[in-house]
Structure 1
Amino acid sequence: MWVNVGLSIAAILVILITHWIIKWRNPKCNGVLPPGSMGLPFIGETLHLLIPSYSLDLHPFIKNRIQRYGSVFRTSLAGRPVVISADPELNNYVLSQEGKLVELFYLDTFSKICKHEGESRTNEAGGVHKYVRSTFLSQFGAEMLREKLIPQIEDFVTKTLNSWSSQDSVEVKLASSLMVLNFSAKQMFSYDAEKSSFNLGEKYTRVRDGLFSFPINIPGTTYYKCQQDQKKVTDMLKDIFKEKRRDAKNISGENDCKEKNGGGDLLDRIIRDMEKENFLSEEFIVQLLYVGIAATFESVSVIVALAFLLLEDHPHALQEMIAEQEAVLNKKRSENSPNRRLNWDDYKSMTFTLQVINETLRLGNGAPGLLRKALKDIEVKGKGYTIPAGWSIMLVTSALHMNPNTFDDPLQFNPWRWKELESHIIPKNFMPFGGGTRQCAGAEYSRVFLSLFFHVLLTKYRWTIIKREKVARNPVIGFGKGVHIKFSHKE
């Protein structure tokens, strides 16, 4: 009898598990799901995405599925159902529906790391998002770059490269990430890396390393260490906020003067706005600063490291860049003005340098894609598919950048191609800083920083790559043990 009971229980378990697996592999949909596979229960196809690919081409996870299923397909990543799109029309449509059909979304690890106390509101559409964007543009946008930041960036880069030249070698991705982070943090909340006892760069580097780890909060895991460093950073930001707010209340006259002149750092501006914007709580402001710093440094550091490798492999491009930057320098020397600092017109005259930056951004777009969440069922026009409400959507910008119909011989580093591309083609097919209303407010700031970095580098320094590793996508771009470079002053 007990044997029969055991067999019956086993049979029931097999039926339940089989039913569950079938349900997992065939999700409900009020229409036709895009083709694809949901992979294993819970894990999905996450492990396939994390396998390193030693090429600037699309990650095999994406490329193989596009070849098999087409430009729109379904999968599951970290236990979540996802529709992945490499279709330009669908991508632009989704981006245009921000706050209507979709909302900003992060994978669980990033979401948990970037949410502190309470529910995140930095991804809200409407007034909050407009305020956040306009505030960052007020500190890092074209007007501030033109009026104030360009000479400051030039000085900061000059000081940084001088420091690098005193070392036997520099791992440029890490070093450049710290350079951009320290400058950006100074603009945001007057952080001084040389005077502060808190090593902000070190903490953010470890947090970055944990962004794509599994969210297992057990001592010893990468995610656990990431969480500990995240808490230390937010505690520091809270202390800075409280001190600045206290000073603003105690020295109201000076604060009024700053307000009239648009002075102070980003945090000063936000504190002044607390009286008229009800959503500006301490928790929100700390989170805003935390995410703002995280957004400033990683993409620039990847492009700096990749550019060194590409320019070494393409000496003709390097020579044209050097010639352009020396022409800018000679023009400044010929001016009668005692102030020979670079300005906005000098930046805009760096045509070929900007082409090199665009081409490096195209090849090295680090993020695997832009993430959104469907608020309602979305019909994919022309394909007959439906994206169910609640599903995540990954817009693969790197697939657009590697499309041979737009970029001839897409794996080839060819900065000259940007002379020929028609202006109406670029917005829909080139999105290194995102798109739609969520396009990064720091896009121009990043381009300016990179341009001024190369100006100082190519006019004042020589460099030699001491050690280089293969470029790897895992799923973001990495360089193994790094790109190590020796810098020296030109004679």
Structure 2
Amino acid sequence: MWTLLGLCLVAFLIIYITHWIMKWRNPKCNGVLPPGSMGFPLIGETLSLIIPSYSLDLHPFIKKRLQRYGSIFRTSLAGRPVVISADPDFNNFLFQQEGRSVELWYLDTFSKIFVHEGDSKTNAVGIVHKYVRSIFLNHFGAERLKEKLLPEIEGFVNKNLCSWSSQESVEVKHAGSVMVLNFSAKQMISYDAEKSADDLSERYTEVIEGLMSFPLNIPGTAYYNCIKHQKHVTAMLRDMLKERRSSPEIQHGDFLDQIANDMDKEKFLSEDFIVQLVFGGLFASFESISAVLALAFSLLAENPSVLEELTAEQEAILKNRENPNSSLTWDEYKSMTFTLQVINETLRLGNVAPGLLRRALKDIPVKGFTIPEGWTIMVVTSALQLNPNTFEDPLKFNPGRWKDLDSHSISKNFMPFGGGMRQCAGAEYSRVFMATFFHVLVTKYRWTTIKGARIARNPILGFGDGIHVKFSEKN
């Protein structure tokens, strides 16, 4: 009898597990799901996703599935069902559907770091999004850059390059991250890296290293360390905000001052929301620009003719000035045609944010398939920017290609700063910072690559660690 009971129990477990696996592999859908595989139960295809790629080409996880299934396919990442799209028309449609069919979304690790529990305002549209975009543009937009920031960026870059030239070599990705973070933090919270007892760059470095880990908050894990440093920075920002609120007569004229002053006028500006907003803004500046600069060093070293043309354009700016020692002007920045082409081409190949995430607020029909409500959608901008139908010989570093590309193709296939109403408010700031960096670099310094590195990245974040450069001042 016990043997029979045991056999029945085993049979029941087999039937239950088989049913559960079948249900996992074939999720419910009011229509036809896009083709693809859900991978293993619970972990899905996450392991294939997080393996770094050492090429400028599409990550193998994306490339293989695009070849097998087409431009839209399904998968599962970290236990969540995901539809991945490299279709330019559908991606453009999604960006226009913000707040209607889709909303901004994060994988669990990102969500726990950048979105306060129970606070959905980071994803909000309408008045909240309009305010957030407005305040960032007020401190980092074109008018602010033109009127105030451009000469400050030039001086800050020159100061950092001068410091780098006194060292045997510099790991440019990390050094660039520190430089950009320190300048951005000065504008946002009046942070002075030389006087502060807290090293923000070190904190953000630890956060970055835990971002693409499994969200296991156990001592010793990368995620635990990531959360620890995130909490430290947010606690520091919270204390700063409380201090500003308690002493409104002391004004610094920075981002935090303005948003603290606006708390009485805008009811959605909670303390938690402001802290997370500032934390996220600093994070964005820390990672993105430095990754592009690191890749640019590698690409320029491999393409001396491009470096020669870039240098000639920047030296011509100095020759055309009445005073060669005067600061860079806005008109001079706008005249940097080739430099901006170099930046665009590096952004295209770099794909610093190769995947943008949204969540379906309702069932979304697409090309005969249905994306179920609640599913995550990953817009793979890297696939668009490496599409040979738009960019001939897409893996070739060719800044000159931007002379012949039409604006329509660029708008649908080049999204280094996102798309639609969620396009990054710091896009112009990033371009100005990079252009100014190149201006100071090639007119005042020489540089030699001491140690190159392959560009390791995954579909969510781009990395360019390991490129060591020796700098020296020109005579």
Question: Normalising TM by the smaller chain, what interval?
Answer: over 0.9
Aligned positions of 1:78-477 closer than 5 A:
78-116=78-116, 118-248=118-248, 251=249, 264-332=253-321, 334-335=322-323, 340-380=326-366, 383-475=367-459, 476-477=461-462
Cα deviation per residue 1:245-274 (whole Å; 9 max; x = unaligned)?
Answer: 2221xx2xx75xxxxxxx810111111211
TM-score by length of 1: 0.95
Structure 2 stretches lacking a partner, 5+ long: none
Task: Compute the displacement of 1:115 (Å).
Answer: 2.5
Once the two structures are overlaid, the 10-residue window that deviates more, 150-159 or 365-374, is: 365-374
Per the TM alignment, residue 118 of structure 1 is displaced from its structure 2 partner at its CA by 4.0
CA contact (8 A) 1:466 1:485 kept: yes
Query: Which residue is 1:478 aligned to?
Result: 463
Q: Is the 8 A contact 1:117 1:283 kept in 2?
A: no
Work out the CA distance in 1 between the residues paired with 2:21 and 2:86: 28
- Match status 1:5 vs 2:5: yes
SS of equivalent residue, structure 2 residue 397: coil
- The 1-side partners of 2:104 and 2:298 are apart by 34
For the pair 1:54 / 2:40, whether they are aligned, the reply is no
Q: For residue 120 of structure 1, report the CA deviation from its aligned partner.
A: 3.7
**1:478 partner amino acid:** F
Cα displacement (A) at 1:301: 0.7
| CA shift for structure 1 position 478 | 2.6
- Aligned equivalents of 2:414 and 2:318: distance in 1? 31
1:173 deviation in Å? 0.2
Q: Give the superposition deviation at 1:335.
A: 4.4
Count of aligned pairs: 474
| Whole-angstrom CA distance in 2 between matches of 1:120 and 1:168 | 47
SS of equivalent to 2:449: strand
Stretch deviating more after TM superposition (238-247 or 220-229): 238-247
Task: Give me the whole-angstrom Cα distance separating, in 1, the residues matched to 2:458 and 2:30.
Answer: 34
Structure 1, unaligned runs of 5 or more: 256-262
Letter in 1 for 2:114: C
1:50-91 CA-to-partner distances (Å, cap 9, x unmatched) read: 222211000111111011000000000111000000000000
- Greater mean deviation of Cα atoms: 263-272 or 433-442: 263-272
The equivalent of 1:258 in structure 2 is: none
Deviation string for 1:421-458 (max 9, x for gaps)?
01221111100000000000000000000000000000
Between 1:459-468 and 1:471-480, the stretch displaced more is: 471-480
Secondary structure of 2:98's aligned partner: coil
Superposition deviation, residue 210 in structure 1: 0.8
Q: CA deviation at 1:155?
A: 0.6
For residues 117 and 56 of structure 2, the distance between their equivalents in structure 1, rounded to whole angstroms, comes to: 38
Deviates most, 469-478 or 394-403:
469-478
The code of the aligned residue for 1:128 comes to V
Which amino acid is 1:448 matched to?
V
Q: What are the residue-to-residue correspondences of 1:17-36 with 2, within 5 Å? A: 17-36=17-36
Deviation track 1:17-41 (CA, whole Å, cap 9, x = no partner) reads 0000000000010011000000001
SS in 2 for 1:407: coil
Letter in 1 for 2:463: G
Moved more, 112-121 or 409-418: 112-121
CA distance in 2 between partners of 1:202 and 1:447 (Å): 25
Q: Separation in 2 of the partners of 1:201 and 1:52?
A: 23
Question: 1:278 is aligned with what amino acid?
Answer: K
Distance 2:464 2:283 in 1: 19
| Residue type of the alignment partner of 2:317 | V
Hey, what's the Cα distance between the residues in 2 that align with 1:65 and 1:292? 33
Whole-Å Cα distance in 2 between the matches of residues 89 and 118 of structure 1?
34
Aligned mates of 1:272, 1:477 — CA distance in 2: 36
- In the alignment, is the contact (CA less than 8 A) between 2:119 and 2:273 conserved in 1? no
Distance 2:117 2:184 in 1: 24
Offset from partner CA, 1:368-401 (integer Å, 9 cap, x none): 3110000000011xx2011000000000000000
Q: Which amino acid aligns with 1:288?
A: L
Mapped partners of 2:41, 2:334: distance in 1: 52
- Residue 117 of structure 1 and its aligned partner are, at CA, apart by 5.3
CA distance in 2, matches of 1:7, 1:386: 41
Secondary structure, aligned partner of 2:28: coil
| Matched-pair contact (CA < 8 Å) for 2:169–2:470 | yes
Q: State how far apart, in whole Å, the 1-side matches of 2:50 and 2:458 are.
A: 5
From the superposition, tell whether residues 446 and 479 of structure 1 become closer, same or farther in structure 2 (CA, over 3 Å). closer
Residue equivalent to 1:260: none
Aligned-partner SS, 1:15? helix
Q: What letter matches 1:320 in structure 2?
A: E
Query: What is the CA–CA distance in structure 2 between the aligned matches of 1:400 and 1:297, rounded to whole Å?
Result: 25
- Cα deviation for residue 132 of structure 1 reads 0.4
